[in-house]
A and B are shown apart, each in its own frame.
Chain A
């Protein structure tokens, strides 16, 4: 299986989108070579605007540009775009429902070496809480491309959560519709809802579980908001046990979104796999993922213990 970072796919998709939509512009805060908006910049130098190391102003500028009819894609690290500039996102962009796409990279602990200060594990919680915000976390490079085009197609603010780490690219391309989860693997003992890089880990975990006699369905929840409640409810009922897997805090992210959807509707066992109310830390990306229990064998073991 080939590997590619979703941020790399984002840069390419944005350049591709720019060629067919001249209203698309990009903003960055001195991280164009990391967020990969540099790919767009190389193709359209006069449509790429650097805000300097000033995320609050970048966010406001994007709002102003959207108010003028452009379609700004605004990028920096998730920590700064969703964290530092949270209130600008909320008040300057989301409150007036402006058509800004926030494509934030280096989300989660798989940032690796830079450490906890740069590993945002709260962005899904923050963005999901904002009324009217669409929140997408693509599972691989191909899905990222589709998400970028879908985000541009819809009117209104979108948060795209992207990763630094090169991750597996699925051999089969999945359909992509905002708000519609993709069932990647059928199963009967447990429904595993995963997002972002945890989708491929969960698929690998399901394979391991099968060898141990546990049948796990795996559902790619690429859209955290609006959540595909019908799919979540259906598989929770069908399997009777639910596990959520995310490279994000277990507080406020995918796990809580799924729990909220099921609350009062479906009685089932529930386990949240994710960052357990901790900050991240430095290390090689894969070592850090292991430290936080987010590799396929660890996910399989958690699920096996839960199902048993």
Chain B
């Protein structure tokens, strides 16, 4: 997939996010939209996966540690053909395969059940460690929220990633700067995240605009360092792509109305 194709892919995912959350009347559009380039680029350019064989034991693994960005994840998986886009109708609906937060038992292509913040990254560390132990060349990717990094478990997991020299693990922080109750700085300042990641032993790549595909692709393409886990600290914009959602705390966990859906989709015309 070339960059122009990937750009259209991202736009399609953004439209999916708007449609899913509007249909459901609930969900998390803000943090889904900020992560679109990150998740899309990982799946489309980095991972060995086969949508027709989602349980292939030799596939690479992806863990959406910020599980509330499920609409972004589902959009990417559907655009890749893991399941039919008609399933979007079941998002957050009773008996649906698309739960409010990712459920590995229900959704083809989902490798870990997440949503309770801080837990996905530990699961990803366990997967990377198991892959090494089993002599597999599996790569493991996980996307965390910045607010999520307030969970102590995240730092336990980071410590373990370094201790076990997990150079098959890439941790991506979707640093959109906002969380439910306000900005990170207002709620609980994260300090110098890049310095912290480096101090925890990560090869740390900072991306000034994590919604710029060229920058994201360049970061993901940076060769890893043997014996070190890799972190990409991507500064993103919450609600990116929909003018009235961009940078707005209020769009963390609120669905667009029908009017807002129309306006958003208009703005997202390919």
Contact = CB atoms under 8 A, between A and B. Distances in A.
Interface of A: 25, 46-47, 49, 51-52, 54, 56-57, 59-70, 72, 87-88, 91-92, 95-97
B130 A92 contact: no
B122 A60 contact: yes
Given A25-B133, A52-B160, A52-B163, A91 B125 contact: no
Interface string B137-165: 01000000000000011001101100110
B113 A59 contact: no
Interface string B96-129: 0000000111000001110110111111111111
B138 to A, nearest CB: 8
B119 A96 contact: no
B221 interface: no
Contacts of B1: none
B148 to A, nearest CB: 13
Contact of A67 (B123, B133, B157, B163): B123
B112 A49 contact: no
A64 B127 CA distance: 4
Contacts, number: 112
Question: Mostly helix, strand, loop or mixed at chain A's interface?
Answer: helix
Contact of A64 (B57, B115, B124): B124
Given A59-B122, A69-B57, A92-B122, A64 B153 contact: no
Interface in B30-86: 57, 61, 63
Given A60-B153, A62-B126, A68 B134 contact: yes
B127 A67 contact: yes
A61 B57 contact: no
Given A52-B160, A60-B122, A64-B122, A92 B113 contact: yes
A200 B220 CA distance: 60
Contact of B134 (A61, A70, A88, A95): A70
A97 B113 CA distance: 10
B267 to A, nearest CB: 36
Contacts of A63: 112, 122-123, 126
B113 A91 contact: yes
Nearest to B123: A64
Contacts of A70: 130, 133-134
B203 to A, nearest CB: 20
B116 A87 contact: yes
Contacts of A96: 103-105, 112-113
Nearest to A96: B113
Contacts of B268: none
Query: Which one of A49, A54, A57, A88 has the highest number of Cβ atoms from chain B below 10 Å of its Cβ?
Result: A57
A60 B126 contact: yes
Query: Which one of A60, A66, A91, A92 has the highest number of Cβ atoms from chain B below 10 Å of its Cβ?
Result: A60
A49 B126 CA distance: 10
Contacts of B129: 49, 61, 64-65
Contacts of B6: none
Given A57-B160, A60-B157, A96-B113, A68 B123 contact: no
A52 B134 CA distance: 22
Given A56-B118, A92-B119, A96-B112, A65 B130 contact: yes
B57 to A, nearest CB: 7
Contacts of B136: 68
Contact of A60 (B103, B119, B133): B119
Query: Which one of B118, B121, B126, B134 has the highest number of Cβ atoms from chain A below 10 Å of its Cβ?
Result: B126
Query: Which one of B111, B138, B159, B160 has the highest number of Cβ atoms from chain A below 10 Å of its Cβ?
Result: B160
Contacts of A51: 156, 160
B131 interface: yes
5 contacts: A51-B156, A60-B121, A60-B126, A69-B130, A87-B116
Contacts of A61: 122-123, 125-126, 129, 157, 160
A91 B159 contact: no
Contacts of B112: 63-64, 67, 96
A67 B125 contact: no
A60 B105 CA distance: 17
Given A56-B152, A60-B153, A60-B157, A67 B104 contact: yes
Contacts of A67: 61, 104, 111-112, 123, 126-127, 130
Contacts of A52: 156, 159-160, 163
A258 B41 CA distance: 54
Nearest to A54: B156
In order of increasing CB-CB distance, the 8 nearest A-B pairs are A64-B126, A60-B122, A57-B156, A61-B126, A68-B130, A54-B156, A64-B127, A96-B113
Nearest to A87: B116
A197 B163 CA distance: 38
Contacts of A95: 103, 113
Query: Which one of B125, B130, B153 has the highest number of Cβ atoms from chain A below 10 Å of its Cβ?
Result: B130
A88 B125 CA distance: 14
A56 B122 contact: yes
